[in-house]
Amino acid sequence: MNEVRASAPGRVNLIGEHTDYNGGYMLPTTLPLETSVALTPRSGRTVAARSLDLPSEATAEFEIGREAQRRSWIDYVQGVTWALRDHADQISGFDLVVTSTVPIGKGLSSSASLEVAVARALNSAFDLEMTDLDIAMLCHRAETDFVGAPVGIMDQMVCSLGDVTHALFLDAATLQAEKIPLPEHMEIGVVDSGLSHSHASGEYRTRRRECEEAAAHLNVPWLGVLTIDDLPRLADLRPPLHRRARHVVTENARVLASVEALRAGDTAILGRLFLESHASMRDDFEISTPDIDRLVEIAAGDTDVFGARLTGGGFGGAVVIICARGSARIVTHRTAAGYSKTTGRDGRALVPVPQ
Ligand code: GLA
Q: What is the pLDDT of residues 35-82, one digit of tens each?
A: 999 999 999 999 999 999 999 999 999 999 999 999 999 999 999 999
106 pLDDT tier (thresholds 50, 70, 90): confident
State the distance from the centre of ligand 1 to the C-alpha of 151, rounded, in angstroms.
Answer: 6
pLDDT tens figures, 274-283: 999 999 999 9
Task: Find the DSSP H helices in 102-201.
Answer: 110-125, 132-141, 154-161
Instruction: Round to whole Å and give the CA distance between 4 and 40.
Output: 6
pLDDT tens figures, 181-202: 999 999 999 999 999 865 546 8
The answer to whether residue 266 scores a pLDDT higher than 80 is: yes
Asked if 50 and 60 count as a contact pair (C-beta separation under 8 A), the reply is: yes
> Which residues form the catalytic set?
155
Instruction: Round to whole Å and give the CA distance between 121 and 115.
Output: 10
In testing the pocket of ligand 1, which one of 76, 104, 199 has its CB within 8 Å of the most ligand atoms? Answer: 199
Q: Within 10 Å of residue 80's Cβ, how many Cβ atoms? A: 25
Asked if 327 and 185 count as a contact pair (C-beta separation under 8 A), the reply is: no
The answer to whether residue 83 scores a pLDDT higher than 50 is: yes
Q: Within 10 Å of residue 191's Cβ, how many Cβ atoms? A: 29
State the distance from the centre of ligand 1 to the C-alpha of 19, rounded, in angstroms.
Answer: 8
- Check if 115 has its Cβ closer than 6 Å to any atom of ligand 1: no
pTM value?
0.96
State the distance from the centre of ligand 1 to the C-alpha of 17, rounded, in angstroms.
Answer: 7
pLDDT score at 198: 57
- What percentage of the chain carries pLDDT values higher than 70? 99
DSSP string, 86-128: GGGGG---EEEEEEE-SPTTSSS-HHHHHHHHHHHHHHHHTT-
> What backbone phi and psi angles, to 5 degrees, belong to 168?
-105, 110
- Check if 251 has its Cβ closer than 6 Å to any atom of ligand 1: no
Average pLDDT of the segment spanning 110-121: 98
In testing the pocket of ligand 1, which one of 19, 104, 155 has its CB within 8 Å of the most ligand atoms? Answer: 155
Asked if 74 and 60 count as a contact pair (C-beta separation under 8 A), the reply is: yes
Average pLDDT of the segment spanning 84-88: 94
pLDDT tens figures, 206-245: 999 999 999 999 999 999 999 999 999 999 999 999 999 9
pLDDT score at 200: 44
pLDDT tens figures, 127-172: 999 999 999 999 999 999 999 999 999 999 999 999 999 999 999 9
> What backbone phi and psi angles, to 5 degrees, belong to 230?
-85, -5
